[in-house]
Structure formats: structure tokens, C-alpha cells
Structure 1
Amino acid sequence: MKHKFYLLYSRSDHMLQHKRTRYFNRSDIINNHPYSLHFDIFLSEQNKTMKEIGSWHYPVYFDYLPAFRLAVVLKFPSWFGNATLDPCLKNNCTENSICAPLLNLNHSYYCSCKNGYYGRHCSKYEPLCHKYCSENSICRPNHNTILMNQRRPYCICPLNYFGPRCILKNDPCYSDPCFNNGTCLVREHSNEEASYICNCSTRFYGEQCTKEKAFVHINLNMKNDSFVRATVIQLYNMNKTTLHIQYQQVQNGLPSRFHYAHEGPYAPHLVDHYEAICFSHNPQIDHCGKCLSKGQCLHGDLTNSKDFICLCPKCYQGPHCELNLQAFGFTLDSLLIEFSKKG
């Protein structure tokens, strides 16, 4: 079984300064590695509870670089399962934690906080875990705070349970209720009952994707488009004095034509004359804040949070403008200054 994961470094001012400091301090790079990747493994027991049985830890070397690639095969060591060789026979874990072996380091262990506990020595407890995560799941209070800046805990689900709170146990998508290549998505209710919604393909809409959309094709006859980096196309629905964004897409450059699939049996009427009318508009509707390093974010489909383009400032690249190239670039002036200092 092969998986790929893409993770981003923290972009806070504190961590960026820390990254620059490490770049110019070679001894710190050799001796200290603040970033590491953890692969934790859990055993599902017969009473539907889970038990953490170990983890693989891999430090991130040269973390000041824009990217780090790790290719590894996770294997259980030969001593795993042998009680006499278990590194947890002698440990210093507190009563609020359990000892588990590091599976890629001999004679090493780590202390994992018990359900609901967190902190350096597992001395803090989050009462929200008792009512947020379902029974038999494992609650990690501070994981979502670190990953997504959310106050809600992170729940690790037992076998055959899923969802943010591990309360979903029936899969209504098993019968494939969405037609015409629609994707079935389970959604969660506060009463712990599961239902589904259909994410329809481009040509269809409706609760089960059974209705076909009307297609609109628009050709653009524009010249001198070489300076255009990206284009946002919006289709508004006028309702008296209010504009409602009915459709939006974003493309790199300036397209010569674009297509729109209208949710209805007939195509909408497009105004072909010039007229000045004032409308109220909420700019937060199509607000996009996915880009780092002060990059400009352009949103596409407003129902798809992953449909956006980042226009990065100078010396920044990447889908989110997360790669800083300043540390690896140089100019003729910088070389002359450095040479004059040596002279």
C-alpha cells in the first residue's frame, strides 16, 4: 500500500525568523532538528476500543530548504512483540500517558498522552473531549489547534466509524444513490444520524444528479492579452438591487472561450446592451485567503475551496506562494559587495 502526503511548514513570523536563523547557523542544523514526521499505529481490539502500539519517527534534516522529500517503507522490527525486548519495560511516562516503542529506533520509546490529556508531560486535560468525540475513539485536544487553528479536538476513530466526531457508523453511499457519475458524500447531523449529499458532475444537478444542465458557450475576441496573468469570470443573477454570483471560474491568462453549465432546462438570458445600474454587493462572498507571503488569491468555483489561483509576489513560487527563493538567489551587486569586503 503506497501513500503520498504533502505538508507545509509553518509560515508564522516567528517560524520564518527561526528558519532564517537556522540557515545561517550550520552547527544548529547539524545538532538540532525541530521538525519530524510521525507515523502512529493503532490496534483495534474486540471491544471496539483502540490501543496505540507504536510509532515511526523520522526527523526532517535541512528544514531551512523550501522542500523536503521522504521516501520510506514502514516495517515492524524483529524484536516487536517480544516482551523481554520491549523498550517500555523501564520508562518514565506519567500516569496520564502510556509508553509505546519507537519502531525505527532500537531501545527507544515515547510517552503518548491518554485520551483527553495533552501538554509536555500530559498534565493538562480537555473536558470537551468527553462530549465531543464518540465513545471508544481517542481524543487529541491540541491537534486541530496546531493544524487548522480550530478549538475543536481531533478524534481518532475506531474501526468502522468515521466523521469528525467518529459518530458515523452506517454508510448510506454504499448503494451508490448518485447517478451520472455523481459522487456520494456522507454528512453528519447533530442527532448522530447519517445522510448523504451528491456532488454532481459538470453536466448534471439535482439531489441525485438526475437533471441535465443547459450549456452556454462564450467566445472572447480580445487582443494584447500577453500581460494578463489570470482571469476571473463571473455570472451574476440580478434580483432588483442585489447581485448574486451564480457562477464563477478562474483561469490562468486570458481564455479565448469558456463554458458554463446552467442549472436549469434552459440557458439564462444574457444582457447584450450597455446600462449603468447600482447594486449592493458583499465582497466577502468571493473572498479568498489561501495564499501565503502576501500573494493575491483569486477564487474560482465558490462551492469548491480548492479551486483558486495564487498570484505570487517576486521571489516566491508554489501553489500557495509557500516557496521563498530569496535565500538562493544572488545579483551582480551582491557579488561585488562581497568581493570588496574580502579585498
Structure 2
Amino acid sequence: MDPERKIPYPYQIVPYCIRFFGLSSNLLVNNEKHVIHGISITFETLRRENITSQQLYLLSASIDVVERYQAFLESSHSSLSTQVFNNCSKPWFGEYCQYSFNLTWSFDKIVRNYFSDIKLQAGNSFTAETCYTFIECNRGPSPSCLDWREICDGKIDCLNDGRDEIDCEKLDLNECEEDEFRCSNGFCIPKELFNDDPLTPDCIDRSDEKYDQKESSNFDHRLSKICKRGILIYVNNFTENYCLCPPAYFGYRCEYQNQRVSLVLQFRTVEWRTVFTFVIMLVDENTNIHSSEQYDYVSLRDCRKKFNFYLLYSTQPKYVNQTYYVRIDIYNKEKMEYYDTMFYPIRYSFLPVHRLALLVDVPIRDVATVSKKCLLKCLHGQCRYFSNFDKYFCQCLNGYSGMLCTIKNSCDCSPDSIYVGIVNNRSICICPLDKFGPRCYLKRTGCISNLCSNSSRCIANDETYSETEYYCLCSQGYMGSRCENPETKIEFLFAKTISIPQTMFIYFIYIPSISKSYSSPPADPPQIIMVSKLKFYESSSFVYFGGEFHIIFVKIHQHYYLALLRHNSTLGINISTTIIPEHRCLSIKDLFTDNIPILPRWHRAKHYHIPCQKHSNLVCFYDNDFFMCLCDIDRNANCFKFDYRPLYKCFGYNYCENDGQCHIDNSTCPTSSSCFCKECYYGSRCQFTTTGFGLSLDDILGYNIWPNIPFSRQPKVATLDGGGGWGTRTVIDTTIPGISIFV
């Protein structure tokens, strides 16, 4: 791990398995009546000894065995009482204690040695160690064979009929959208992923990043003589050896290349405190699930992280005439309810490896649940609509599958989990926050002691990839790994001559320190934009901010004001500042009467010292095209790049009504969203209006009633009628001009 690396390392778990197509699983286990390298203990014996499933888990028992034992403890089902746990003696492992690694090497050395070879092979010329065999290709005398990367590379490699280049013109003719980057091989990726991290290219040919292929390695090639692309294990009494293959390879020696879908996913959501579960599935035209992966995601923790993995076809080779797609189901893990589904087609079935690099924008809940008339008759399920594709599908109930949910399957998910579907005769289950395991029977222990401070929420992390057992979702106003540190609280007051705004944009500016060497120009000051909405009874506003900053500007009534300027960026203190007319930043159009404002940007910048020297009370001024400038104590202009464009995007979704504009505070890792309303509209979604007749008290007060707060603690405007009884006539003075409301 590089402590100076600002971009999170990609998440990837690579399952290594014995992958022999056509070989019975019975041949992979010890078929003797007793286990040679361990002791067999029945579930009933374990229960009498008060052994918990957590203890079995810590003994490195198979996860399937641990879950079956927990199910036995919960139900005491007699059919499970005779099942056994095989307590293996070192160095043996596996459900039947039948496997062992190299006895002379540590497991750490085996893994490091293997991945050193992987890095060495990356980008190098193809070798005959592994072959793609799903095309009958004559490459000449043995051991020459076809590599999957030679398919559609613009050169004919198969001497018989050039079938390695059939249909490849479809890639040449492929055109990308305006918001996409075209890889050298014809695939498209989102432009946001172009040149974002040289260590994690998104194009499968690496054409989106500057990639250094020079890698040093002290790889010991003794293993590669046995396992071409896998990890060597010994079976039974060291009389046999097998190879554990990654998803990209199969065969006794991992010598054959798999057909697969290679995915790179990056998620974005404005619901930054919500715990989502993403279920990613490879599905065919008959809605059969071929393979799946799932991840728990919290934007505060996982923003900008990439998720890399393979999805395999259940049949090798795949059926070329069938259509396949990637389906992503989204669930709210805290509420344990369905959220949304997305659809991504596999367009080029003739390719052995299809790369999908996706920037998945999770829609806002109110937008995701827009109802549409469904045309499918789902017998044991509910008809759903893909939020990003004009297509319907059936979401089946527990134990059912098929296009219309007509196929009955057994569901072995725990009672408190959510059933998603069936893959390889196993149920796909969504676990509650405090459970884990393929069937969700095991209890997470990371949050038992709950070390999160200040009423923050403890989220148990996924044991398979997390560096810590838990993650703290901090309450408002706190930050830190355990939410132990207060954020900076800033209160904004308004001078009497400034009318109180309905909406205020707040710009936090951090000035990086300048290197003494001056070897490179200083970086542009980082800028974070927040939105504060004031209710009509409020005369001030406050926000919490957890980052460092030196300057605060605010935008109210289409004017900019300098709200705060400080030399130190001390965190965790309370600040109160007043917006005054004297700190208004003027436009250069107001300061220059000649043709200077219409000059090119850098030409007019030469004149920026004039306003500070000419106007002794001027604090700041701005150029809408690029700059914000401060007048220093010597009356010189100190200018820096300033982003004047609010982020009216919300990832393509707009949940604001009445032509309101959806605003997020950061395009990469947003922490808030809000609606910027047009004149005469207000409310959290611009759903209320002050125009015309029929303005009801419920509409106005509904925006100001605080949820989950007792009536006695509600704002005064919402409680005026509480003690007067019927017939009481009270005048409420609002900030809506010309309107008095009588109760």
C-alpha cells in the first residue's frame, strides 16, 4: 500500500478453484470412509460441547460447513445432526482435509511468488503456456496455439481460414457517445475513467492510461512448470497434485483460457450515508443466471474505488447465438428492501473476453421508483423496469426463477435475508447488516463492542476484503475513524441591510502550501460547494464541514460575498461570521468602464491590480470566466481559479419539481444534494408554490415540520395552533411578501 496514493486501490477478490470442465466433483474429494488428515466430529457432538459457529469459523472450517452447523443450531433439525466437521491437522485443509500447499514454502511466499509472475507477464508478448481452444485454429506446429488477445487484433493468425478475425469489423465500426472514450480496440469507456489512474487501466488493451510495462521480478519459475497460471496444491497423501486456477483459466494445469466478461465498476450515489448491496449477475436471454458477485457499498467509505472481477459463463464454450447481459440489482441493506435494477448488454458475442467498464450512477430513490405500466405477467414475482434501459423483467419471489417466475427451486437463504435468484443450484442471498455468509446464517462480530462515538452508527465490514472489522458512519458534526473528532461548525449571520436568502451557496477554498523549490507551478486551490436552504422563520444558517479550508465565499441573491478569511485551517472549532455589504465581491464589469472586460482572459488579467488600488474599500472581485481575486493589505490582487458553475447534474437524474435544478456538492464524491428552485417555488423538491390561490397552511408548514422530533420541540411556526384550541385566530407573519395566513 502506498500511503501517498490519493486514489483508492481497486477492490478485487480472485477466487482460485480447481476448474476441470467435465470432471465429476466426486473425484476431487477423499472417498475413503474416514478422514486421514484430521478428526471427524458430528454436529450433535459439537453442540453438546457448546461449540459455536463462530469458533468453527475461526478454525478455518469451510464456510458451507459453518453455515450448515449454524442452521442446525437454530433449528435442531435431526437430518443435520449426523453431518460432520472435519478438524484438519496442519498443513491440510479443505472440507475433507484433502489438500495441502508446498510444505517447504510459507503461504505468503507462494502468493507473492505467483503474483510476481502475473506482473511480469502483464503486457508482455504472448507465449504458448496457455491457449484459447474454443476456436479451431491452425497456428502451425505444436506447441503453437491461439491466445485470446490475438482475436480481432487486425492480423490473421489462424492459417486455415483466418477465423480469428471473423466479425471483427463490427468493432472497427463501433462509435462511442460524446461522453465516452474510444479504446484502441473499439470498446467504449466513460470519459471520467480516461487517464484517471495509471495503475488501473479501464480499456482491456490499456490504451486509456500511460502504462509502464517494465517490471522487475524475482519469480521462481519452478512452479510455472507445473501450473501454467495457477497455484500448486497437493492432494491426499502427496501422491497427486492439482492447480488452483483463477477465473480466467481452467484445466488440470490452468493451461486453457476461459470465455468471460471482465468488469470494472465504479459507483456513484448522492445517498452518501446509505449502505447499499450491489448484486452483479451475468444473465442470458432466458434469464438464467450464469455467475454473480455482490458487494456492500457506502459512498463515504468507498467513493472512487473501482471494483474489478470476472463473470463466467456456466457453459464453456458459451452459446454464440444466445444474447447475454449484465444485470445489477441494488438493495438498501439497512432497510432490507429492493432499490433498483440496471441493464448492460453484452454486444459482441464473438469475442472470448468482453470488457465492460461502467460508471454506475445510482438514481435518487424518488426517481428510481417512478411507476410504469408493466407488460409482463409474473406468476410468482413482481414486474420491474430497468432504470437505464427500456425493458421489463420479472423479479421472482423466494424459490422461483425463470422469465415469468414459473420455475420452482429450493431457497436455502436464512429467514431474515432476501432471495435474489439461483446460480449453479445455489441461492443468491442478501444478508442483513449483522449477518454474512452465502446463506446469511453467520453473525458479524465487528460491531458488538460498538467503538463508534457520538451516537454514530457502526457498520460491520465485509470480512473478505476490509482492512478493519467495522466502519463508523458519523453523526452530523463529527468525523474520524471512530467519529471522535468534531467537525468545524460555521454559523452565517446576515447584516440588517441584506435580505435573508432562501438558498445560499457556500464555497470552501483550501490554499495548498507552495513548494520552496518552485519546480512546478502551484496547484489550483481545491474547492467544495455546499448548499444551505433557510426556512422562512430562520434568520441565520449553519453548516458542518469536515475538511480544511482558508477562505469561504457565499453566493446569495446572485451576488458573491467574502464570508471568512483565515491563515490557519484549524479543524473542529465553532465559527460565527456575518455577511455584510462591505464584503461583496464586485464583477469586473462593474469595475472597468472601458473595453478591458472583453479582452481575452490572460490579457485582462494584467489589469487586475487596478481595482484594488483604485477602490480602497474593495475586498474582492471576480471574473465570471475564470478568476476570483482578493485585495491584500498592500492593495495587490491575489487571484486564483474559481469554479462558478454549480453542479446541476445529480448524475443525470433530476428529482426536483417545477423545473428546479438538482445540485450536488461534488461531482466525484458528493455528500449532499438539494434542489435550487425557480422564483416563487420552494420546498425540499421545489414542490410548493406561492403563485395564484389555494396556498394551504399544510403546504407551508409541511416544509418546516422536523421529522422524528416531538411536537413540543417543533419550530414555533408549526406549534402556534397547539394550545389555542378550535376557534383561535392567530396571524403568522411569513417572509412571503404580501401574504398573511390566518389560522
Question: Could you say whether these structures have the same fold, taking a TM-score greater than 0.5 normalized by the shorter chain as the test?
Answer: no
TM class, shorter-chain normalised? 0.3 to 0.5
User: TM-score with structure 2 length normalisation?
Assistant: 0.21
